[in-house]
Amino acid sequence: MAGSFPRFYGKKRGARRTGSSTVASVGSGCFFALALLIGCAALGAVFVMMAIPELRANRDFVEHRARLLDKGLDERPAGDGAVYAPRFRLRFSLDGRTYSPWASYDVADLHDSDRARSERLIERFEIGEDYACWYDPRNPERVIMARGYTWFAWLMLLVPAPFIAVGGVGLFYTIWNWGKSAERRAMLAQQAARRQSPEEPSGAPRLPHVPGPNEMTDSPGTRLAFRLPTAAPGWNLLGLLLITLIWNAVVAIFAVMAIESYRQDEPDWLSIGIVAPFAVAGLGLIGYFLRRLLAGNAVGPTIVEVSRQPLYPGADCELFVSQAGRLKVKSLSVVLLCEEEATYRQGTDARTAVRRVFEQEILRRDSFEIYGTPWEVRAMFSVPAGAMHSFRAEHNRIDWKLLVRGEIERRPPFERSFLVHVYPGCAENTAA
């Protein structure tokens, strides 16, 4: 690790990429807007065609008595044969006027390929008898023989959810970052940080592409001077939970339809074959989410404190680590590492490559138990002399981290990362 950039970064890319970034933003915005439009249109269609009619039938339709004059099947052609639905010819008087409409069984009027099922519904009614029916007060010619809610109409509301979620979030992010390059966003963040904390430490160097003092936490420690913040997995877990719920909800709709066809002794093997791999993927998402949740919550909080911030190459720093919980620990280690990140363009795609260029184990403990009282340890460490300092640029960055790794009996292993800043070394800072 020298004080200059490794060849990993390649050539720097400048402002000439602004045009392609703008084109990419336009393309992304159009894609997300289209996804949002499709989702909203599909949601509106489901509401208008299925959900709202069911609500009106169960809330607004008026009960009445009518005589059954005739009955039969409404047959319609479909892709793999005909589909059927029962029909009933009724006669009733309302406000001095006689009506003789053809009524459907329910407001959904779903046509089924199972002819026998529709015939069984028809057999329940005898011609010449009087039966209860429900008519639409807006149009008495619209009559149904039964009321109630169907699961299908309401489950279908979940189908547009992935399009709305992806399109809405993506479009918001695209608009929020419209016309802002990475340098512009970084400058705005720095200006906001200066407004919130206008006074900087007097001894802090002002160097280009070096994280400023405002990026460092000023949270005091209980044992040492500074407590380091951890990258909380809460938002990542929330995003994973939403993806898992939406995926499995959509799969459940089609799975229920496939199972229903199987129960009617006319299994749709093509649908079952298509749904099966998606159902397996949904179970995998559930397992992965539970594993992440267990790894994040089964282990107690990890506290890392350092005696100085920022760090300087070659200068010693004291470390304090506290691990809480009720755990049987196979091994627990603290590692100092450095990662280089480069963003580059390959064709029309922007790609990010991350490489770990330095890793040093600071301490390690094996085979111990934590019960009640947190496990605590102190150690000394230092960033290697001549190492590259922390760096921020449009397409390149260098991050130094303290990584706490643990292997727990009967539980998934865990890693918790704590960011530290390394400044360019100088004589007085190294000797301090």
For 223-233, the pLDDT digits (tens) are 898 999 875 55
The rounded distance, in Å, linking the Cα atoms of 308 and 317 is 6
- Per-residue pLDDT for 291 more than 90? no
pLDDT confidence of residue 397 = 92
The pair of three-digit structure tokens given for residue 131, joined into one six-digit string: 């039966």
The rounded distance, in Å, linking the Cα atoms of 280 and 255 is 11
- Per-residue pLDDT for 139 more than 80? yes
The rounded distance, in Å, linking the Cα atoms of 357 and 7 is 12
For 146-188, the pLDDT digits (tens) are 888 776 667 777 777 777 777 777 777 777 666 554 444 444 5
Q: How far is CA 14 from CA 5, 21, 209, 343, in A?
A: 17, 12, 15, 12
Lowest mean pLDDT among 91-100, 401-410, 419-428: 419-428
Q: Which residues pair with 364 in a beta bridge?
A: 333
* Domain residue limits, the chain: 17-61+147-187, 64-144, 302-431
Name, in order, each residue with C-beta under 8 angstroms of 201's C-beta and a sequence gap of 6 or more: 213
First-last CA distance in the chain: 23
What is the third-level CATH fold of 302-431?
A: Immunoglobulin-like (2.60.40)
Cis peptide before 6 (omega within 30 of 0): no
For 260-283, the pLDDT digits (tens) are 666 555 666 666 777 788 888 888
pLDDT confidence of residue 111 = 81
For 347-389, the pLDDT digits (tens) are 767 788 889 999 999 999 999 998 878 999 999 999 999 899 9
The rounded distance, in Å, linking the Cα atoms of 229 and 205 is 22
Q: Is 61 helix (H, G, I), strand (E, B) or coil?
A: coil
What's the one-letter identity of residue 15? A
For 9-30, the pLDDT digits (tens) are 333 333 334 444 444 456 666 7
Confidence of residue 87 (pLDDT cuts 50, 70, 90): very high
pLDDT confidence of residue 236 = 64
Q: How far is CA 8 from CA 208, 336, 339, 342, in A?
A: 20, 21, 12, 8
Confidence of residue 295 (pLDDT cuts 50, 70, 90): low
